[in-house]
A and B are shown apart, each in its own frame.
Chain A
Amino acid sequence: MNPFTYSRAGDLDEAVREISDNDRAKFIAGGTNLVDLMKANVMHPTHLVDITRLGLSAIEETEEGGLRLGSLVTNAETAYHPQVAERYPLLANAILAGASPQLRNMATNGGNLLQRTRCYYFYDTATPCNKREPGSGCSALNGHNRIHAILGTSEHCIATHPSDMCVALAALEAVVRVTNRYGERAIPFADFHRLPGDTPHIDANLEPDEIITAVELPPRGFSQHFKYLKIRDRASYAFALVSVAVGLEMEGDTIREARLALGGVAHKPWRNLEAEALLVGNPANRETFKRAADRIVADARGYGSNSFKIELARRAVVRALNEAAK
């Protein structure tokens, strides 16, 4: 790791001030992604602001009847919280499908949103990578790209966002609460992460001097009909090749409302509102599910080693919908 200085912020104002005053400073929460990337020499902040004692560590009801998840609550505490487990089992399952118990005890909700891609070339500082070094090129385009994106890619970057938690948050239409020097703002989950376009070095629509304070879940949790399906190279402790988060509301055999988000396929959790609309009002059967799945992968493009993901995603969507509808 490169040398850096360290301070522990006592309150939110201090945290925001310290980050605003130094453009090479970074927040550190659980450290599970940042410390790893600093060891790999991919990120080299010169100052770390420890935000673990800010007291953003509560899970509480919102006025609208939803749930506010403090950004410093750990992934483990979130997944096992009785309200989350009962009302938002889709989120609990997605979190528990990710990383390991040790890592989930360290990882925070804010850090999970901002974890960076696992693209091999992003980690390998000897190779060109537009995300790590803007303008240097993308080694994955014509390289090893088995784990890479098939949707929403650009000629500049085909990396995926690796989070499981975020796929469920996208399906649940969570809202990200943020504080900066001027006050607060709320970012709908769909607008939080970005597509690579020609700025793949920017993962999210969050300014460097902004801090995530909470993630808010709307009242509707789809706790009757849901599924988080994660497909990976081994049964546990591996990132998703493709994952699918589904939340349905059913009336008999008819789908009344549908949420569908995919992980492992794009630079952000992937939703396709047209595909969701194809489900609503229709009977929960294979034909309906296939129509939605076909719609999603109609836009997909493979880059060689990852082309298998197109058919994998199609089948995963059908299976997840089938299991959620039961």
Chain B
Amino acid sequence: MSNQSATITEAPKTAQLPRTSIVTLTVNGEQRSLRIAPWTTLLDALREYLDLTGTKKGCDHGQCGACTVLVDGKRINACLALAVMVDDREITTIEGLTKEGSATPDGLHPMQAAFIEHDAFQCGYCTPGQICSAVGLLKEGHAHSREDIQELMSGNICRCGAYPNIVDAIEDVKNHQPDRA
């Protein structure tokens, strides 16, 4: 080490780059600042940094819908979104759904209550994604029949096969509480 030449070997370029930055996310109406690397997905930011573990990681590749959240009211797959890219958007997770609209006396979103009433799950792993997706679906307003609901819920896989009851729950909210969906 004593015999160093004047030329200094630099670390590879990527190693010099700042790895993290402070990003402020608006999640369920609250502003939360976190120091993250740009490759942190919104899903990992929610689960690992903000302790919002209601949103699930199934496949991590956009194939199952377990990570569905609402961004500016639209349902997306949080596993394929980079957290740095949504810093100025409104993010709603299963934990904040009741803030989206009116809650039932139990403090639930009508879609959550309908899932319970219709027994629309078994293990429950896909359920937060199913519920957020269903809320997004009703907001979009393109489902006019049971078949439409089935097609427009195809982005949410249920390994337990609770599909008929899931569709029942969504139909119920759609037909009976349209103003609360």
Contact = CB atoms under 8 A, between A and B. Distances in A.
Nearest to B129: A102
B19 interface: yes
A100 B14 contact: no
B75 A102 contact: yes
Contact of A6 (B60, B74, B84, B136): B84
Contact of A102 (B41, B65, B150): B65
Contact of A236 (B37, B137, B154): B154
A58 interface: no
Contacts of B74: 76, 105
A28 B85 contact: yes
Please classify how large the interface on chain A is, using the bins under 10, 10 to 19, 20 to 34, 35 or more: 20 to 34
A155 to B, nearest CB: 30
Interface string B139-151: 0101000000011
A105 B69 CA distance: 12
Given A3-B19, A101-B75, A35 B140 contact: no
Interface string B38-61: 110100000000000000000011
A32 B142 CA distance: 23
**For chain A, what secondary structure do more than half of its interface residues adopt (helix, strand, loop), or is it mixed?**
mixed
Interface in B59-78: 60-62, 65, 68, 74-77
B167 interface: no
Given A28-B85, A39-B61, A105-B75, A5 B136 contact: no
Contacts of B85: 8, 28, 31, 50, 52
A80 interface: yes
Interface string A229-268: 0000000110000000000000000000000000000000
A38 B150 CA distance: 31
Nearest to B17: A5
Interface residues of B, number: 35
A125 interface: no
Nearest to B142: A80
Contacts of B61: 36, 39-40
B133 interface: yes
B37 A35 contact: no
A3 B155 contact: no
B76 A105 contact: yes
A123 to B, nearest CB: 10
A315 B50 CA distance: 53
A6 B18 CA distance: 10
28 contacts: A3-B14, A3-B37, A3-B39, A4-B14, A4-B38, A4-B39, A31-B80, A35-B81, A36-B61, A36-B62, A46-B13, A46-B14, A48-B82, A52-B85, A100-B65, A100-B154, A100-B155, A101-B136, A102-B62, A102-B65, A102-B68, A102-B76, A103-B77, A103-B80, A105-B75, A105-B76, A106-B80, A237-B155
